[in-house]
Amino acid sequence: MTVKTETWTQDSMVGQPAPDFTREGTNGTVHLSDLLGQVVVLYFYPRDNTAGCTTEACDFRDAIQDFATVHGAVLGVSTDSLASHEKFTAKYQLPFNLLSDPEAETAKEYGVYKQKNLYGKVSYGIERSTFIIDAQGIIRYVFRKVKVAGHVAQVKDLVGRLSGE
């Protein structure tokens, strides 16, 4: 079976400073600006404990050593509560910080909080997206409407390139 992978988009945010934020997470409070000097993988996902989100989180978990080797940090963001994130982290032994964005403030800053239409029912939620931010805090790659299969491998490759590995 061939897995079709998406490519990063030449998004208007590429080349721009990453919007700074402060969020509570499973491993403490994160200020994005405190991570300068590291390549940051900031991935937004719709919900804890759903099939695609679980697969994506476990793929990042399984690749965490590759990111650590190149001084990369992985952060997951959804509108779920911190309590939900803590259960999700414990259940799947996730070694990276999941950040709670209950009012979707950070998701809106990154343009990933979207109107969705499922069987005629309109709602709002996070569109699965990934941002790769370089060590100077500049967004270098953006993936929107992420397809989970093969995504983490692409992200690892790009992070490695940014890190000079």
Active site residues: 53
In a domain, 51, yes or no: yes
Locate the DSSP E strands across the chain. Answer: 22-23, 30-31, 39-44, 72-78, 97-100, 113-118, 121-126, 129-133, 139-144
- Is residue 115 within 8 A of residue 122, CB to CB? The reply is yes
- pLDDT at res. 4: 40
How confident is the prediction along the chain (165 residues), in pLDDT tens digits per residue? 333 444 455 678 899 999 999 999 999 999 999 999 999 999 999 999 999 999 999 999 999 998 888 888 999 999 999 999 999 999 999 999 999 999 999 999 999 999 988 788 888 999 999 999 999 999 999 999 999 999 999 999 999 888 775
CA–CA separation, 77 vs 114, rounded Å? 15
In a domain, 33, yes or no: no
In a domain, 109, yes or no: yes
The CATH number given to whatever domain includes residue 140 is 3.40.30.10
Phi, psi (degrees; rounded to nearest 5) at 12: -65, -20
Q: Residues 107, 53, 89, 43: is their CA dihedral positive or negative?
A: negative
Domain carrying residue 44: 40-163
In a domain, 14, yes or no: no
For the CA atoms of 42, 160, 64, 127, the dihedral, rounded to the nearest 10 degrees, stands at 30
In a domain, 73, yes or no: yes
